[in-house]
Amino acid sequence: MTLALTLELSELAIEISREAGELAHTRRQEGVRLAATKSTLADIVTDADREVEALIRDRLRAARAEDGFLGEETGAEAGGSGITWVVDPIDGTVNYAYGIPAYNVSIAAVRGEPDPASWEVLAAVVNAPALGEIFSAALGHGAWSGGTRLAVTEETPAGALLATGFGYDPATHEGDLATVSRVMPMARDVRRMGAAALDLAYVAAGRLDGYFERGLRPWDFAAGTLLVTEAGGAVTRTDVDSARPMLIAGGRDVHARLLALLTENR
Ligand code: LIP
């Protein structure tokens, strides 16, 4: 895989995310309409999610017709190039619906089967239009935001600033809260921002020391994981054969401590 190709994919993702982010932002200002609920009543999709995904899919098809596609709202379409685009048109949909600016357009190009167990993420963008920030990465070329190279944090004696999230299914909340209590001994505090891709971008940017969450879908984390690794951090998925695999990300020390705490038997 050449550096030129990963850069080209990353530039395309950034360009498309700008248009997609503007569309999401405009639709938000016009007022959000709930289109449907998905796995549970709390798991929503808006008209804007669908419209933004359609725009991204059209632009990718026009630029790279041979590539595959895997999107949160419209599912999978196989390609012939060995590269698949993994897209969350609006990550943080509940924030979006409530008017909280922590939502983003997340686009990743992956090589291999479009399965996080084996794929290699080549290029990534997380564009948060209401925050005016774009985080991007190309494999082997670092992670960037507005001309600044991103770097994860080193562990400090004050404890780690961690983020997490909770599943949409109320039946999972008790277990997720038990997980939070497991990591509290190493935390200085915990954030729940409501957008997994942004949590990962913040780990890459050194605004969080670590992040963990169960039950994420591939489009929630495809782009964010490359941001973290290209910023010098580590990412691991555990319990991959369970219904709700755990994603753990952070600077190397914090990641190792999270991994130890979250995988030890009790
Ligand atoms: C959501 C995440 C959120 C997480 C939810 C869900 P959506 O993505 O980013 O932080 O806790 O489980 O995956 O549904 O807004 O694209």
Is the C-beta atom of 196 inside 6 A of ligand 1?
yes
Considering the domain architecture, whether residues 128 and 196 belong to the same structural domain is answered as no
Considering the domain architecture, whether residues 112 and 171 belong to the same structural domain is answered as no
pLDDT band at 145 (very low <50, low <70, confident <90, very high): very high
Q: Are strands 210-214 and 246-250 parallel, antiparallel or unpaired?
A: antiparallel
Considering the domain architecture, whether residues 43 and 140 belong to the same structural domain is answered as yes
Which residue of 211, 216, 225 sits with most ligand 1 atoms within 8 Å of its CB, as the best mutation to test the pocket? 216
Considering the domain architecture, whether residues 82 and 165 belong to the same structural domain is answered as no
pTM above threshold 0.75: yes
Q: What's the gap in Å between 194 CA and the centre of ligand 1?
A: 6
pLDDT in tens, 162-205: 999 999 999 999 999 999 999 999 999 999 999 999 999 999 99
Is the C-beta atom of 88 inside 6 A of ligand 1?
yes
User: Does any domain span residue 108?
Assistant: yes
Total number of domains in the chain: 2
Considering the domain architecture, whether residues 102 and 164 belong to the same structural domain is answered as no
Number of H helices, E strands in the chain: 7, 15
Can you give the pLDDT at residue 266? 59
Which residue of 88, 94, 199, 220 sits with most ligand 1 atoms within 8 Å of its CB, as the best mutation to test the pocket? 220
Q: Which domain holds residue 233?
A: 160-263
Considering the domain architecture, whether residues 14 and 63 belong to the same structural domain is answered as yes
Label residues 152-183 b or e (16+ Cβ within 10 Å = b): bbebeeeebbbbbbbbbbeebeeebeebeeeb
pLDDT band at 246 (very low <50, low <70, confident <90, very high): very high
Considering the domain architecture, whether residues 27 and 99 belong to the same structural domain is answered as yes
Length of the chain counted residue by residue: 266
pLDDT band at 1 (very low <50, low <70, confident <90, very high): low
Considering the domain architecture, whether residues 256 and 191 belong to the same structural domain is answered as yes
Residues 6+ apart with CB under 8 A from 221: 116, 196, 197, 200, 247
CATH code, domain carrying 192: 3.40.190.80
Considering the domain architecture, whether residues 73 and 97 belong to the same structural domain is answered as yes
Is the C-beta atom of 216 inside 6 A of ligand 1?
yes
pLDDT in tens, 76-108: 999 999 999 999 999 999 999 999 999 999 999
Q: Which atom of ligand 1 is nearest to the CA of 165?
A: 11
User: Does any domain span residue 25?
Assistant: yes
CATH code, domain carrying 54: 3.30.540.10
H/E stretch holding 181 reads helix 173-183
Rounded CA-CA distance 179/165 in Å is 11
Q: What's the gap in Å between 1 CA and the centre of ligand 1?
A: 31
pLDDT in tens, 107-122: 999 999 999 999 999 9
Report the nearest-CA residue for atom 15 of ligand 1. 92
User: Does any domain span residue 154?
Assistant: no
Q: What's the gap in Å between 169 CA and the centre of ligand 1?
A: 12
Considering the domain architecture, whether residues 176 and 99 belong to the same structural domain is answered as no
User: Does any domain span residue 75?
Assistant: yes
Report the nearest-CA residue for atom 11 of ligand 1. 165
Considering the domain architecture, whether residues 141 and 188 belong to the same structural domain is answered as no
Is the C-beta atom of 165 inside 6 A of ligand 1?
yes
Considering the domain architecture, whether residues 166 and 246 belong to the same structural domain is answered as yes
User: Does any domain span residue 155?
Assistant: no
